[in-house]
């Protein structure tokens, strides 16, 4: 089986693929201090709950935006999987798609993986809106090429900053308010955070479309994307599996080439 790992700033997603389909997916808070031993014990228990064998994992592919986590995940592969992990972004790993920006070395591995996963499932050109710690708007050409994008603070980050900077404002749950004009502090904050962020997403998408000058399909993904499902006027489809699918596609392309 293949173990695919997407290490984000806030959460880490683990997926197991048996060569035909995904048989399990798990999500954990990202913690760069966890050792290979910690992950091995955790994954062994989760595999057992799903009726799977941790010992059946023979390959590992990893995308990470947390450099400090690479050491422990590399040890996980070497010590417990008897496999050298394939890290997206390393020179010997080919994406199989062109990167059409001026500084390709600065692009986060997760954004490139998203481009591959989105192109595999959807016809382009595409805008991939990934809502996580940051919200990214990535442009994928009709041929799957990565053509740049936009990076904005994530909604949870924005809400935390509001609370931290204003001592009298409470922490609140993110949800759609009953109306735009708040009648108390909580509803006023919900309106500003939720509706303000929704307009940020839709407004940026409209500007991207206008500048690109071609019809584009907009795909929502990421840990908090479900908040905006049915609310955004510009997102056409929500696809939670873009990143994990992209990891599998890149793994296959590189395994076939060796």
| Residues with catalytic roles | 110
Peptide bond into 125 cis (omega under 30): yes
Nearest to 221 by CA among 196, 206, 201, 192: 201
Nearest to 254 by CA among 76, 27, 61, 48: 61
- Identify the three-state secondary structure at position 93: coil
Distinct helix (H) and strand (E) counts, the chain: 7, 10
Gap between the Cα atoms of 230 and 222, Å rounded: 15
Q: Which residues pair with 2 in a beta bridge?
A: 17, 59
Give yes or no for a contact between 116 and 93, defined as CB atoms under 8 angstroms apart. no
Give yes or no for a contact between 58 and 83, defined as CB atoms under 8 angstroms apart. yes
Q: Which residues contact 226 (CB under 8 A, 6 or more apart)?
A: 238, 240
Nearest to 113 by CA among 256, 241, 258: 241
């Amino acid at each position: 089986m293949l173990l695919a790992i997407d290490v984000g700033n806030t959460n880490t997603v683990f997926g197991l693929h048996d060569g035909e389909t995904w048989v399990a997916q798990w999500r954990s808070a990202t913690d760069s201090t966890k050792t290979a031993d910690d992950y091995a014990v955790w994954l062994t228990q989760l595999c057992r709950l799903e009726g799977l064998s941790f010992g059946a994992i023979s390959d590992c592919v990893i995308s990470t935006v947390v450099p400090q986590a690479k050491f422990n995940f590399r040890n996980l592969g070497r010590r417990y999987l008897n496999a050298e992990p394939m890290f997206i972004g390393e020179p010997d790993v080919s994406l199989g798609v062109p990167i059409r920006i001026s500084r390709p070395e600065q692009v986060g591995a997760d954004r490139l993986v998203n481009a591959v996963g989105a192109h595999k499932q959807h016809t382009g050109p595409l805008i991939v809106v990934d809502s996580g710690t940051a919200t990214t708007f990535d442009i994928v050409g009709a041929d799957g090429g990565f053509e740049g994008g936009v990076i904005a603070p994530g909604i949870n980050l924005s809400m935390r900053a509001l609370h931290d900077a204003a001592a009298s404002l409470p922490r609140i749950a993110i949800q759609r308010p009953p109306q735009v004009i708040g009648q108390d502090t909580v509803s006023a904050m919900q309106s500003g955070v939720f509706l303000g962020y929704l307009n940020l997403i839709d407004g940026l998408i409209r500007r991207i479309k206008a500048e690109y000058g071609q019809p584009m399909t907009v795909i929502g993904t990421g840990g908090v994307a479900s908040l905006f499902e049915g609310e955004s006027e510009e997102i056409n489809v929500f696809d939670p599996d873009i990143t994990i699918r992209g990891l599998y596609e890149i793994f296959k392309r590189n395994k076939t080439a060796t």
